[in-house]
């Protein structure tokens, strides 16, 4: 088994095929999308592949230490190119399976009831070293 | 004996150990140990006196823990001062335990965890699951909290205000996982109300009961938000409402009003309306004005603006909203609602979309997005 992070971006991913903003969808389309996302997580719990899913607020800030004083903060930056919206962590048998699931998630319904076909980023976790090394 | 009845005994057993001179931290571990042993032992052979059984087993566990702790300390030559033992300043032992677990020196998250364990009898694992953190993290939080109390807990008197804040926090966390924190907070507040002679404690209990009574109607499938106006009021628990109202009236009758009693009065006025159009908004606004005397916060002012909008119309609500710091959470949601009520649909739709983007949780994010979509669809059809 290997863990993968499926990352969804507010900004920074290539444009989705069906990229109309959500507040322009019909209420039924919004409902259908929310239902799809909820069902997707439930299904992966059922297959024993779900680890975690979280959504992030778009507002964050940058922090760095400033020696002895309190940390310096900056942002949020409206011009930040890459902004993560949320993630799902899955534990699957192969990269193929991770790609398959990301593909299904990317096809969540959007405007006009058509799949969004948004780009999701799939990142493998760096795992602990194996016990048998030779 | 079910799980809750068993856990009801926890503070009683713990206070017996403390009264016998056990230090709070070790005694609390010992009671947990006794609880864990009780489950298999009682299945085989239920005791005739469960409380006596727990006291005996917890006391033995305490002696074992204290002995091994003493030898460990000797080995490591620890110089940590032993907390003073055997001092029980409060006449009421259970109340004293509440004060310890919600000690003002503790951070809110530590006080919450310790209260749920020492007074609620929940296991570290259950508390960790309820707050979605690893069990080892919660265990550390609890043992650090106990060290803090060991250092400073016993020489400062407790504060029922702090206890109420902790119980309010637990109640507001609501429901996640196997443990129903709202129900647990109500149980603990009931227990507190039997020993603390403060009308605010009864106000807090009434507030919890009145909100809990509406719980089933407050969210739809998948945890979606159902706003007050759209709730199916036949799902409200009329028994809980009646109980809350009686407790509140008795508390208000003592003429020592406070923040929780006033919040409960507002909840009672909502609960009292058979249909949303029967809501006595004028009186609700008056209670919000009263609430401002005790807690003049932007959140109270924001909620007051909604009530003013219902009582005196959207423009009055917007005028009240203009006095509220616009950077607080849900400001955009309230603005959207009032502008929609005032017929400014485009502005309202934009504000709902902003409210969704800045929502503090997923349920609200989805709810506000549905509102934006609803208005935009209406605008397209015009």
- What does the pLDDT look like over B181-190, one tens digit per residue? 999 999 999 9
Percent of chain B with pLDDT over 90: 70
Domain ranges for chain A: 2-124
| pLDDT at residue B78 is higher than 50 | no
Pick the more confident residue, B324 or B224. B324
Q: How confident is the model at residue B235 (pLDDT cuts 50, 70, 90)?
A: very high
| pLDDT at residue B291 is higher than 80 | yes
**CA-to-CA distance for B186 and B193, rounded, in angstroms?**
10
| Dihedral in degrees, nearest 10, Cα atoms B352, B358, B361, B365 | 30
Chain A closest-CA separation from residue B123 CA (Å): 23
Question: Can you tell me whether residue A14 is helix, strand or coil?
Answer: coil
Bond prior to B247 in cis (omega within 30° of 0): no
Task: Give the residue carrying structure tokens 């919004």.
Answer: A30
Per-residue pLDDT at B89:
38
H and E: helices and strands count for chain B: 19, 2
Chain A, nearest residue to B377 by Cα:
A26
Per-residue pLDDT at B79:
37
Residue range A47-71: mean pLDDT, rounded: 90
Pick the more confident residue, B87 or B233. B233
Write out chain B residues lying below 8 Å of A58, CB-based.
357-358
Q: How confident is the model at residue B176 (pLDDT cuts 50, 70, 90)?
A: low
Q: Supply the mean pLDDT for chain B.
A: 89
Write out chain B residues lying below 8 Å of A30, CB-based.
366, 369-370, 373
Please name the residues in contact with B186: beta carbons below 8 A apart, sequence gap of 6 or more. Answer: B171, B205, B208, B209, B212
Element (H, E) at A83: strand A83-92
Question: Can you tell me whether residue A45 is helix, strand or coil?
Answer: helix
Per-residue pLDDT at B159:
82
Which of A25, A30, A58 has the CB atom closest to B357's CB atom?
A58
Per-residue pLDDT at B325:
94
Chain A closest-CA separation from residue B214 CA (Å): 24
Please name the residues in contact with A57: beta carbons below 8 A apart, sequence gap of 6 or more. Answer: B358, B360
Pairing of strands A50-55, A83-92: antiparallel
Q: Cβ of B349 under 8 Å from any chain A Cβ? A: yes
H and E: helices and strands count for chain A: 2, 6
Write out chain B residues lying below 8 Å of A59, CB-based.
358
Structural contact between residues B215 and B182, judged by C-beta atoms closer than 8 angstroms: yes
Task: Give the residue carrying structure tokens 């950077």.
Answer: B327
Q: Cβ of B366 under 8 Å from any chain A Cβ? A: yes
Pick the more confident residue, B82 or B362. B362
Which of A23, A57, A58 has the CB atom closest to B369's CB atom?
A23
**CA-to-CA distance for B46 and A59, rounded, in angstroms?**
55
Q: Cβ of B373 under 8 Å from any chain A Cβ? A: yes
Q: How confident is the model at residue B237 (pLDDT cuts 50, 70, 90)?
A: very high
Q: How confident is the model at residue A82 (pLDDT cuts 50, 70, 90)?
A: confident
The residues facing B276 across adjacent strands are none
Per-residue pLDDT at B91:
42
Per-residue pLDDT at B76:
53
- Beta-carbon neighbour count of residue B177 at 10 Å? 12
Pick the more confident residue, B89 or A23. A23
Question: Can you tell me whether residue B326 is helix, strand or coil?
Answer: coil
Chain A closest-CA separation from residue B359 CA (Å): 8
Question: Can you tell me whether residue B225 is helix, strand or coil?
Answer: strand
**CA-to-CA distance for A120 and A118, rounded, in angstroms?**
6
Per-residue pLDDT at B196:
84
How high is the ipTM of this complex?
A: 0.88
| pLDDT at residue B144 is higher than 60 | yes
Domain ranges for chain B: 1-73, 95-196, 197-289, 297-382
Residue range A29-45: mean pLDDT, rounded: 93
Residue range B206-217: mean pLDDT, rounded: 95
Q: Cβ of A57 under 8 Å from any chain B Cβ? A: yes
Q: Which of B327, B362, B378, B379 to mutate to test the interface with A (most CBs of A within 10 A)?
A: B362
Residue range B285-299: mean pLDDT, rounded: 96
Pick the more confident residue, B73 or B65. B65
Task: Give the residue carrying structure tokens 């015009």.
Answer: B382
Question: Can you tell me whether residue B173 is helix, strand or coil?
Answer: helix
Q: How confident is the model at residue A1 (pLDDT cuts 50, 70, 90)?
A: confident
Q: How confident is the model at residue B210 (pLDDT cuts 50, 70, 90)?
A: very high
- Beta-carbon neighbour count of residue B244 at 10 Å? 24
- Beta-carbon neighbour count of residue B345 at 10 Å? 15
**CA-to-CA distance for B345 and B12, rounded, in angstroms?**
58
CA angle at residue B276 from B272 to B281, to 5 degrees?
A: 70
Q: How confident is the model at residue B278 (pLDDT cuts 50, 70, 90)?
A: very high
DSSP 8-state symbol, B45: S
Per-residue pLDDT at B77:
44
Half-sphere exposure of residue A3: CA atoms within 13 angstroms, side-chain side: 12
Q: How confident is the model at residue A47 (pLDDT cuts 50, 70, 90)?
A: very high
Please name the residues in contact with A102: beta carbons below 8 A apart, sequence gap of 6 or more. Answer: A6, A120, A122
How far is the CA of B325 from the CAs of A76, A93, B299, B300, in angstroms? 20, 51, 9, 11
Structural contact between residues B277 and B307, judged by C-beta atoms closer than 8 angstroms: no
Write out chain B residues lying below 8 Å of A51, CB-based.
none
Write out chain B residues lying below 8 Å of A23, CB-based.
349, 352-353, 356, 369, 372-373, 376
Question: Can you tell me whether residue A53 is helix, strand or coil?
Answer: strand
Residue range A76-89: mean pLDDT, rounded: 83
Per-residue pLDDT at B85:
43
Q: Which range, of B24-38, B98-112, B129-143, B176-190, averages the lowest pLDDT?
A: B176-190
Pick the more confident residue, A40 or A10. A40
Per-residue pLDDT at B224:
86
Q: Which of B226, B364, B370 to mutate to test the interface with A (most CBs of A within 10 A)?
A: B370
The dihedral built from the CA positions of residue B116, B121, B123 and B126, taken in this order, carries a sign that is negative
Contact A29 B362 (CB under 8 A): no
Q: Supply the mean pLDDT for chain A.
A: 91
CATH 3.30.70.1060 fits A2-124, yes or no: yes
Strand order in A83-92's β-sheet? A50-55, A83-92, A2-11, A121-124
Structural contact between residues A116 and A16, judged by C-beta atoms closer than 8 angstroms: yes
């Amino acid at each position: 088994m290997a863990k993968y992070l499926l990352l969804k971006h507010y900004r920074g991913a290539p444009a989705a095929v069906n990229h109309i903003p959500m507040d322009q969808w019909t209420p039924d389309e919004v409902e259908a999308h929310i239902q799809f996302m909820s069902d997707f997580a439930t299904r992966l719990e059922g297959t024993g592949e779900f680890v975690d899913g979280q959504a992030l607020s778009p507002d964050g800030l940058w922090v760095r230490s400033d020696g002895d004083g309190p940390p310096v903060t900056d942002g949020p930056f409206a011009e930040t190119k890459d902004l993560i919206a949320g993630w799902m962590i899955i534990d699957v048998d192969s990269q193929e399976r991770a790609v398959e699931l990301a593909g299904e998630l990317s096809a969540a319904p959007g405007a006009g009831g058509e799949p969004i076909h948004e780009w999701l980023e799939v990142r493998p976790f760096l795992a602990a070293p194996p016990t048998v090394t030779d | 004996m079910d799980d809750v009845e068993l856990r009801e005994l926890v503070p009683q057993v713990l206070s017996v150990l403390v009264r016998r001179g056990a230090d709070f931290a070790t005694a609390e571990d010992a009671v947990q140990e006794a609880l864990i042993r009780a489950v298999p032992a009682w299945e085989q052979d239920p005791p005739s006196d469960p409380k006596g059984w727990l006291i005996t087993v917890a006391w033995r566990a305490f002696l074992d823990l204290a002995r091994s702790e003493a030898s460990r300390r000797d080995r490591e030559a620890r110089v940590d001062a032993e907390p003073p033992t055997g001092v029980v300043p409060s006449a009421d032992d259970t109340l004293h335990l509440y004060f310890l677990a919600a000690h003002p020196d503790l951070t809110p998250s530590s006080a919450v965890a310790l209260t749920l364990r020492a007074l609620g009898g929940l296991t570290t694992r259950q508390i960790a699951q309820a707050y979605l953190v690893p069990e080892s993290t919660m265990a550390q939080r609890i043992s650090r909290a106990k060290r803090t109390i060991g250092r400073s807990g016993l020489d400062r008197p407790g504060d029922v205000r702090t206890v109420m804040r902790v119980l309010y926090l637990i109640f507001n966390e609501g429901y996640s996982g196997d443990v129903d924190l709202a129900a647990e907070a109500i149980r603990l507040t009931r227990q507190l109300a039997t020993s603390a002679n403060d009308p605010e404690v009864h106000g807090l209990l009434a507030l919890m009961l009145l909100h809990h009574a509406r719980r089933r109607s407050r969210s739809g499938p998948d945890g979606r938000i159902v706003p007050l106006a759209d709730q199916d009021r036949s799902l409200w628990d009329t028994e809980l409402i009646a109980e809350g109202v009686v407790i509140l009236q008795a508390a208000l009758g003592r003429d020592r009003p406070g923040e929780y009693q006033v919040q409960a009065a507002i909840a009672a006025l909502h609960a009292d309306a058979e249909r949303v159009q029967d809501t006595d908004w004028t009186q609700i606004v008056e209670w919000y004005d009263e609430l401002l005397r005790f807690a003049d916060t932007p959140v109270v002012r924001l909620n007051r603006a909604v009530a003013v909008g219902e009582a005196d119309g959207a423009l009055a609500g917007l005028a009240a909203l203009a006095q509220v710091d616009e950077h607080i959470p849900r400001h955009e949601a309230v603005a959207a609602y009032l502008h929609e009520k005032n017929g400014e649909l485009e502005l309202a739709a934009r504000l709902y979309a902003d409210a969704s983007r800045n929502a503090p949780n997923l349920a609200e994010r989805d709810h506000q997005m549905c509102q934006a979509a609803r208005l935009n669809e209406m605008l397209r059809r015009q």
